[in-house]
Amino acid sequence: MHSAPEVREGATAPLPHSKPRPCNRLTHGDRFGSQVHSPPGFLPQLRDKYGPVFTVHLGPRRVVVLWGYEAVKEALEDRADEFSGRGKLAAFEEVVQGFGLLFSSGERWRQLRRFSLAALQDYGPGKRSVEERIQEEAGRLVEEFQKTKGSPFDPTFFLSRSASSVVCSIVFGKHFDYADESFLDLLAKTNQVFVHLSSTWGQLYEMFSWVMRFLPGAHKQIVRDLEDINSFILERIKENQASLDRDNPQDFIDCFLLQMEKEILNPATEFHLRNLVMTAFNLFFVGTETVSSTLRYGLLILLKHPEVEEKMTQEIDRVIGRSRMPAVADRSRMPYTDAVIHEIQRFSDVIPMNLPHTLTQDTHFRGYAIPKGTEVFPVLSSVLQDPSRFRDPESFDPGRFLDEQGHFKANEAFMPFSAGKRICVGQEVARMELFIFLTAVLQSFTLKSPVPPRDIDLAPHGGGFVHGPPCYQLCAVLRGNGSQTKEERPKDRPQGTAGAPPNHTPPAT
């Protein structure tokens, strides 16, 4: 056995240069920015030279890269236990210190993961479901779009607020007013952390944190922002503690507090305040930017391809109509919309490099001996754009997710949420959000681009952990429907669910 091939030339391979684009600054007080990135351009060349498993050095960090569907699937699915450890993000280490679901490994991670999966899915009878919470936010999003009265606007701020409100509702059980200063501050700081992580500075810090942590610079701001976010979460936890109804937990924090009480006499328990703060932070942090970037990309793609938007709208009118809010149960009867959303996720590729994994034991993989603790990047871009699984992967084509009869056709290389034991814990929530938000918007509006579709550039810009589209503006024009009466506006819940989502806004008059 021999070790994975070393990349000798350019042993310290810099990540691509990136700097925040002027249009990353969002509207509304210039408080937000968004950042995007692609896998470093040298990785495909290394794959061509060394095959789908190779080593790179990011500064002193030795990282094994897995490239393409076969290698990533074999590691994450067939060898799931061995590849289930979590790597580090240097910028987070000082604050996170291995606590919380996202950055833990071993027994701590297992317990937090099991708990989080259950808590995100099951609020029990009589509780507001995740779907209802998303429907409420979709109603608010439609209302906000409506206020633009068909004028051009940058949707970034609207979509970030909607995505983060869903997570806030699930985690804190609370909807923050869109003008609430503390909520806006939380959003701004979260976004700022993404901007810093994605900057050249942030990427250098990932490589040279061992020396840079002693110097002044943007990483100090990341630590301050993360501490502020955690203080905000701690305040919410105190509020939940004060109002906790033990028979009727309302949100993720309530459920965690009850588990803490159950395990209070267990000295080895992982259900303590530190893991609660960090896990709540993880859900908020990952759940906001990923969903809002996908939605932002999705709307831009629809502006570029009005024919796709039109077919989606026809399906929405046929299956859901315009008198009630879309519901997840509709998705199985809407293969075209389902295919478009899959293709949006494949094409937008929002976490291109994946999060770093580590090996939980010494491993033999594809002829190489790789020691326990080695950091591994199973690159998601290389799967979502693997030409052996997706023909002409660089083009946007929802048809690849449809069979000849127009039924939805799954593809095993569709892995935007990764795969195996560390697969995104919020994937069901995210899929509901993408479906309900996009269909609710198209139910009410026709999207128009201020520039001709042929001039729309879909190439991602910048660098960082989350992929986003270039900055753009859109016009949300209310769909005309003279025949629609007040009573026909979306307010009824879909069949099989009870009660109407409050605050839902009519799609069109």
Q: Which residues carry a binding-site annotation for heme?
A: 424
The position carrying tokens 């509207």 is: 27
CA distance 96 to 119: 22
Least distance (Å) between residue 100 CB and ligand HEM: 8
According to the binding rule CB under 6 A, does residue 102 interact with ligand HEM? yes
Stretch that binds ligand HEM, among 192-200, 269-277, 416-424, 443-451 (CB under 6 A): 416-424
3-class SS of residue 376:
strand
Q: How far is the CB of 170 from ligand HEM (least distance, A)?
A: 6
The distance of closest approach from Cβ of residue 78 to ligand HEM in the complex, given in angstroms and rounded to an integer, is 15
Q: Site for ligand HEM (CB under 6 A): which residue of 190, 240, 294, 385? A: 294
| Residue of 140, 175, 201 whose CA lies nearest to 437 | 140
Which residue among 422, 467, 489, 504 contacts ligand HEM (CB under 6 A)? 422
Type of residue found at 179:
A
**Of the listed pieces 154-162, 263-271, 282-290, 302-310, which binds ligand HEM according to CB under 6 A?**
282-290
In our burial notation (b when 16+ CB lie closer than 10 A, e otherwise), range 50-89 reads bebbbbbbbbebbbbbbbbbbbbbbbbeebeebbbbbbbb
CB of 131 closer than 8 Å to CB of 116: no
Does 383 participate in binding ligand HEM (rule CB under 6 A)?
Answer: no
- CA dihedral (450, 451, 457, 461) positive or negative: negative
Q: What are the angstrom distances between the C-alpha of 322 and each of 304, 402, 418, 437, 444?
A: 24, 25, 35, 14, 8
- The residue from 425, 441, 447, 471 that contacts ligand HEM (CB under 6 A) is 425
DSSP, collapsed to helix, strand or coil, labels residue 180 as: coil
Contact 435, 337 (CB under 8 A): yes
Q: How far apart are CA 86 and CA 103, in angstroms?
A: 6
Question: x/- string (CB under 6 A) for ligand HEM, residues 53-92?
Answer: ---------------------------------x------
Q: Which of 376, 424, 440, 471: binder of ligand HEM (CB under 6 A)?
A: 424
Q: Which two tokens stand for residue 121?
A: 């899915």
List the x/- string, 216-255, binding to ligand HEM by CB under 6 A.
Answer: ----------------------------------------
Which parts of 108-147 interact with ligand HEM (CB under 6 A)? Answer: 113
Stretch that binds ligand HEM, among 51-59, 367-375, 396-404, 424-432 (CB under 6 A): 424-432
Scan residues 150-209 and list those touching ligand HEM (CB under 6 A). Answer: 167
Chain residues binding ligand HEM by CB under 6 A are: 86, 101-102, 113, 167, 282-283, 286-287, 290-291, 294, 350-351, 354-355, 380, 416-418, 422-426, 429-430
